C-alpha cells in the first residue's frame, strides 16, 4: 500500500481542516495539500520524466512546501531523500552522489550551496529553489492518481551517520513507515482531527517522521515562522493551536522549560511534548512536569528503526506515586508494539533481565537495509535483528535502560556526532600527528565535542587554525568546542587509543572547577 493513501483519506474526509500552517496562518487545507501533492507528482513524472523508485532529495530548512514535496514524491512512487539542512556542502555532495538523486528541492538560503555540491553528483539533472517561479510552475500540472506501491518498496532514504563517519542510507519502506504510524497511536500519543504538531525540529529527521501520523488523523502541520526552535515563539504558537504536540530533543525541552518557568506561560493547549535523541535526567523530568504539567512522552529509535524501538506515553510520567517511577522515567521506555527488543551478548545470545548488552530490534518498522551497502546491511541485520550498537539493560518489568550510546557517539543538542568523522578531518591538517575526539558533559547541550590533538614534532598549532580547517570540511555543529593539545595520547598495549582515560581527564577537570 502506498503511504499516500493516508493523505488521500484525510484529504477526502477532512478536506476543510487546516493542513499546513506558517506560524498562526493556515497556508493549506488538507484538501489543498492533497491536490498540490498530486500536481507535484504529475510534474515529477511527466515534466521531469522520473520513474518509480527514482530518488528526489530535499535540502531545506523547515518550510510549508516541504510537505507537498514529500507527499508528492510518494504519490509518484518516488523515493524521498530528506537531508539535514545543517550539513556541509561536501556532505550534501556525498548524499546526492551516493543516492544518485535525479532531482533536488532546496530552500532559498541553501540553493547556492546545493548548486556547489551538485558538481559532484552526475545523476542530478534538476535543482528547484522552493518558492521560486520555476517551482510554482510545477504545481500547474494536472493532478494524477497516486501510484500503486508494494509494502516493501522504499519510500524514504534516511541518511544516518555510521561509526565510520560516512553517512549510510537507511532504506525505509512504505510498510516500515506505516508500521511506525500505527505504533504512534498505540504506544505514544493520540491525535484528533483539528489537532496540531509544531515542527520546531528538522523535518529531515524525527519531526518529519511524525508528520505521517498527523496526516493520518488530520492534525495540522505547523511550521514556526523562524523555521526552527525559539522558546518564545513556541509558547505563542501553543497558545494559538489547540491539541498541540511537539517532537523535541532534550536540549529543546530544557530551553522551553527554562523560558516558560521565567515567564509563567500557559500550556493548556499542549497535548504532548515528545522527546527523543537521549534520555533526560530524572531531576530534569520533574522540573519539566512541574512547569508543563503531565504532558511529557519519550521515545527511543534510530534512523534504521524510525521513532520506533521503545516509548513512554504521557501516562507513565503522570503517576509519580509508583514506587518504580524514577526508574521508569529515567529509562528509554517499553518496546513499541510493532517490534521485539532484546539485549544480547557479543555472540548475539539474548541476555536475562538486568544484564547489560547490545540492544537489538526486529519487527515491522526495521529498515530494509542500507542503500547499495550489502556488507553493512548484512552486519547490522545479522540473524534478522537490527544491531543498534547501543548498550542497555531490560528490567524484569520490561522497560529498557540505556547504559551507553553507540560506543563513542556524541549527542550534542539532539544531533548525532561521530568522533571518527571529526578525527578524519583533523588528520588531514598537515600539522596534526594524532587526534582523538570525545564528548564532554554539558548542562545545556548534553555533550560538547572535545578534540585531543598531538601536533607534529616542532609544529605550532592553535584553536582558530584548527577550527577554520574543520568548518571548511564538515558542518559547523560538528566542530569541537575545545581543543586540548597534548604530547601523546593514552594507549593500550595493543596501540588502541584509550578514550575512557580522556573522558576521565575531562571529568576530573570539571570536578575541580
| pLDDT tens string 50-67 | 999 999 999 999 999 999
| pLDDT tens string 111-142 | 999 999 999 999 999 999 999 999 999 999 99
CATH superfamily, domain 4-392, is ANL, N-terminal domain (3.40.50.12780)
Residue 300 near residue 332, CB atoms below 8 Å: yes
Task: Please give the pLDDT value at position 339.
Answer: 98
| pLDDT tens string 153-172 | 999 999 986 444 578 999 99
Task: Please give the pLDDT value at position 509.
Answer: 84
84-87: list long-range contacts, CB under 8 Å, 24+ apart: 84/159, 84/202, 84/204, 84/205, 84/475, 85/59, 85/60, 85/61, 85/110, 85/202, 85/204, 86/202, 86/415, 86/475, 86/476, 86/477, 87/474, 87/475
Q: Does residue 177 carry a pLDDT above 80?
A: yes
Give residue 406's pLDDT band: very low, low, confident or very high (50, 70, 90). low
Task: Please give the pLDDT value at position 161.
Answer: 64
- Per cent of the chain over pLDDT 70 is 97
Q: Does residue 402 carry a pLDDT above 60?
A: yes
Task: Please give the pLDDT value at position 71.
Answer: 98
Q: Does residue 422 carry a pLDDT above 50?
A: yes
Q: Does residue 275 carry a pLDDT above 90?
A: yes
Mean confidence (pLDDT) of the chain = 93
Task: Please give the pLDDT value at position 225.
Answer: 96
The whole-number average pLDDT for the span 68-97 is: 96
Give residue 7's pLDDT band: very low, low, confident or very high (50, 70, 90). very high
Q: Assign 308 to helix, strand or coil.
A: strand
Task: Please give the pLDDT value at position 441.
Answer: 87
Give residue 316's pLDDT band: very low, low, confident or very high (50, 70, 90). very high
Task: Please give the pLDDT value at position 167.
Answer: 86
What's the grid cell of residue 367?
529498515
Task: Please give the pLDDT value at position 482.
Answer: 95
Query: In the block, which residue shows the cell 503517576?
Result: 319
Give residue 413's pLDDT band: very low, low, confident or very high (50, 70, 90). confident
The whole-number average pLDDT for the span 21-36 is: 98
H helices of 21-142, where? Answer: 30-42, 65-75, 89-99, 111-117, 133-138
Hey, which CATH number is domain 410-512, 3.30.300.30, 3.30.750.24, 3.90.1140.10, 3.40.50.300?
A: 3.30.300.30
∠ at Cα 231 (226, 232), nearest 5°?
80
Task: Please give the pLDDT value at position 421.
Answer: 81
Nearest to 3 by CA among 155, 182, 108: 155
Q: Does residue 407 carry a pLDDT above 80?
A: no
Task: Please give the pLDDT value at position 163.
Answer: 43
Task: Please give the pLDDT value at position 457.
Answer: 87
| pLDDT tens string 276-293 | 977 787 888 999 999 999
Judge whether 4-392 and 410-512 match in fold: no
| pLDDT tens string 195-228 | 999 999 999 999 999 999 999 999 999 999 998 8
Burial group, residue 181, by CB count within 10 angstroms (0-12, 13-18, 19+): buried
Where in the chain are the domains?
Answer: 4-392, 410-512
| pLDDT tens string 352-377 | 999 988 999 999 999 999 999 999 99
The whole-number average pLDDT for the span 343-360 is: 94
Q: Does residue 506 carry a pLDDT above 60?
A: yes
Q: Does residue 405 carry a pLDDT above 70?
A: no
Amino acid at each position: 500500500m502506498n503511504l499516500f493513501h493516508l493523505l488521500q483519506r484525510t484529504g477526502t474526509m477532512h478536506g476543510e481542516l487546516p493542513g499546513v500552517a506558517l506560524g498562526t496562518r493556515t497556508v493549506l487545507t488538507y484538501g489543498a495539500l492533497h491536490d498540490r501533492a498530486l500536481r507535484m507528482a504529475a510534474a515529477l513524472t511527466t515534466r521531469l520524466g522520473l520513474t518509480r523508485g527514482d530518488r528526489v532529495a530535499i535540502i531545506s530548512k523547515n518550510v510549508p512546501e516541504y510537505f507537498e514535496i514529500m507527499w508528492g514524491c510518494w504519490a509518484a512512487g518516488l523515493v524521498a531523500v530528506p537531508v539535514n539542512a545543517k550539513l556541509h556542502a561536501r556532505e550534501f555532495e556525498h548524499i546526492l552522489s551516493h543516492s544518485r538523486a535525479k532531482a533536488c528541492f532546496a530552500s532559498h538560503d541553501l540553493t547556492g550551496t546545493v548548486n556547489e555540491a551538485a558538481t559532484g553528483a552526475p545523476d542530478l539533472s534538476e535543482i528547484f529553489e522552493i518558492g521560486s517561479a520555476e517551482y510554482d510552475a510545477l504545481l500547474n500540472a494536472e493532478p494524477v492518481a497516486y501510484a500503486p506501491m508494494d509494502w516493501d518498496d522504499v519510500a524514504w532514504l534516511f541518511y544516518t551517520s555510521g561509526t565510520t563517519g560516512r553517512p549510510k542510507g537507511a532504506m525505509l519502506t512504505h510498510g516500515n513507515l506505516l508500521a511506525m504510524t500505527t505504533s504512534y497511536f498505540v504506544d505514544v500519543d493520540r491525535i484528533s482531527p483539528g489537532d496540531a504538531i509544531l515542527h520546531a525540529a528538522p523535518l529531515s529527521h524525527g519531526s518529519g517522521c511524525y508528520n505521517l501520523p498527523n496526516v493520518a488523523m488530520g492534525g495540522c502541520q505547523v511550521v514556526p515562522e523562524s523555521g526552527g526552535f525559539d522558546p518564545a515563539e513556541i509558547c505563542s504558537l501553543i497558545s494559538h493551536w489547540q491539541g498541540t504536540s511537539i517532537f523535541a530533543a532534550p536540549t529543546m525541552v530544557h530551553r522551553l522549560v527554562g523560558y516558560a518557568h521565567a515567564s509563567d506561560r500557559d500550556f493548556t493547549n499542549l497535548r504532548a511534548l515528545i522527546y527523543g535523541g537521549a534520555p533526560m535526567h530524572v531531576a530534569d523530568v520533574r522540573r519539566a512536569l512541574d512547569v508543563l504539567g503531565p504532558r511529557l512522552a519519550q521515545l527511543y529509535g534510530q534512523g534504521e528503526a524510525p521513532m520506533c524501538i521503545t516509548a513512554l506515553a504521557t501516562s507513565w510520567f503522570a503517576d509519580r506515586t509508583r514506587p518504580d517511577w524514577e526508574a521508569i522515567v529515567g529509562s528509554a521506555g517499553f518496546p513499541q508494539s510493532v517490534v521485539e527488543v532484546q539485549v544480547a551478548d557479543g555472540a548475539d545470545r539474548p541476555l536475562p533481565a538486568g544484564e547489560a548488552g547490545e540492544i537489538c530490534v526486529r519487527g515491522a518498522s526495521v529498515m530494509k537495509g542500507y542503500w547499495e551497502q550489502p556488507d553493512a546491511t548484512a552486519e547490522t541485520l545479522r540473524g534478522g535483528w537490527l544491531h543498534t550498537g547501543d548498550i542497555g539493560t531490560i528490567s524484569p518489568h520490561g522497560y529498557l535502560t540505556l547504559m551507553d550510546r553507540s560506543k563513542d557517539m556524541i549527542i550534542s543538542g539532539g544531533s548525532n556526532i561521530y568522533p571518527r568523522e571529526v578525527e578524519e578531518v583533523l588528520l588531514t591538517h598537515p600539522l596534526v600527528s594524532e587526534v582523538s575526539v570525545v564528548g564532554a558533559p554539558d548542562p545545556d547541550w548534553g555533550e560538547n565535542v572535545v578534540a585531543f590533538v598531538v601536533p607534529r614534532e616542532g609544529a605550532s598549532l592553535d584553536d582558530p587554525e584548527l577550527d577554520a580547517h574543520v568548518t571548511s570540511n564538515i558542518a559547523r555543529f560538528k566542530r569541537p568546542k575545545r581543543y586540548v593539545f597534548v604530547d601523546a595520547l593514552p594507549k593500550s598495549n595493543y596501540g588502541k587509543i584509550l578514550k575512557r582515560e580522556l573522558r576521565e581527564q575531562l571529568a576530573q577537570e570539571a570536578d575541580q572547577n
